[in-house]
A and B are shown apart, each in its own frame.
Chain A
Amino acid sequence: AQKVTQAQTEISVVEKEDVTLDCVYETRDTTYYLFWYKQPPSGELVFLIRRNSFDEQNEISGRYSWNFQKSTSSFNFTITASQVVDSAVYFCALISSTSYGKLTFGQGTILTVHP
């Protein structure tokens, strides 16, 4: 069985603050992929990043960065210098080699960035 836990239900920050969204996962498979999706207030789901279980290199894309640590089964997401447009629900998700494409989502973290 697979599980993704996002313990932070809601986070509120002021613009320009850095914020980290936590994600912890469980799977018995050795081959798996982790994803982050963004759901802005308009409701659509936007793919942000994919990371495979064999690649623990951190990734940076503009103000976004991701820290993957297999030792703690975590895949955390940091937004640097947050902006109001970053306000959204963020989902961490997992697919494993035996899940036939089934994405298991975490509960989501609601991020509110205040001006």
Chain B
Amino acid sequence: DTAVSQTPKYLVTQMGNDKSIKCEQNLGHDTMYWYKQDSKKFLKIMFSYNNKELIINETVPNRFSPKSPDKAHLNLHINSLELGDSAVYFCASSQETGVNQPQHFGDGTRLSIL
């Protein structure tokens, strides 16, 4: 059973389009995250939600809008895609928003903008 699952695994689309990435966790965790990994492998947090409430919004352009319909899901919608949005996006979850909570990551979604 996959603990944190993201769909799709690969997403190829054109500049200007709107796309969504879905994330679901079956670990019963309260907190979920989105991270972006750029072409140099650098990983940076974008958002975190705790029990459907936004906790962290790390100065991400407002073209990116996370949506958490329930605490097991955190979807990422991106409007007006730009070339610089090409990256791997990772969803993660942890038991709580605590300093000692390991985050469990999904397998990533590779987004390529043409």
CB–CB A96/B99 < 8 A: yes
Q: How many residues of A contact B (CB 8 A)?
A: 27
CB–CB A100/B55 < 8 A: yes
CB–CB B108/A52 < 8 A: no
The yes or no answer to A13 lying at the interface (CB within 8 A) is no
Contacts of A103 in B (CB 8 A): 33, 35, 43, 45, 103
Q: Which of A43, A91, A103, A108 has the most CB of B within 10 A?
A: A103
CB–CB A44/B99 < 8 A: no
The yes or no answer to A64 lying at the interface (CB within 8 A) is no
Using known A-B contacts A101-B101, A102-B48, determine if residue A44 contacts B41 with beta carbons closer than 8 Å. Answer: no
Binds A, one of B62-70, B71-79, B90-98: B90-98
Contact with B along A31-52 (1 / 0, CB 8 A): 1110101010011110100101
Contact with A along B29-72 (1 / 0, CB 8 A): 00101010000111111001010000110100000000000000
Beta-carbon nearest neighbor of A42 in chain B: B107
Which range contains the number of B residues in contact with the other chain? 20 to 34
Contacts of B94 in A (CB 8 A): 101
Using known A-B contacts A44-B105, A44-B107, determine if residue A31 contacts B99 with beta carbons closer than 8 Å. Answer: yes
Interface residues of A in 25-76 (CB under 8 A from B): 31-33, 35, 37, 39, 42-45, 47, 50, 52
Residue in B41, B90, B103 whose CB lies within 8 Å of A89: B41
Contacts of B103 in A (CB 8 A): 47, 101, 103
The yes or no answer to B104 lying at the interface (CB within 8 A) is yes
CB–CB A105/B97 < 8 A: no
The yes or no answer to A8 lying at the interface (CB within 8 A) is no
CB–CB A95/B99 < 8 A: yes
The yes or no answer to B102 lying at the interface (CB within 8 A) is yes
Residue in B31, B44, B99, B105 whose CB lies within 8 Å of A45: B105
Q: 3 nearest interchain CB pairs? A: A45-B105, A101-B97, A105-B43
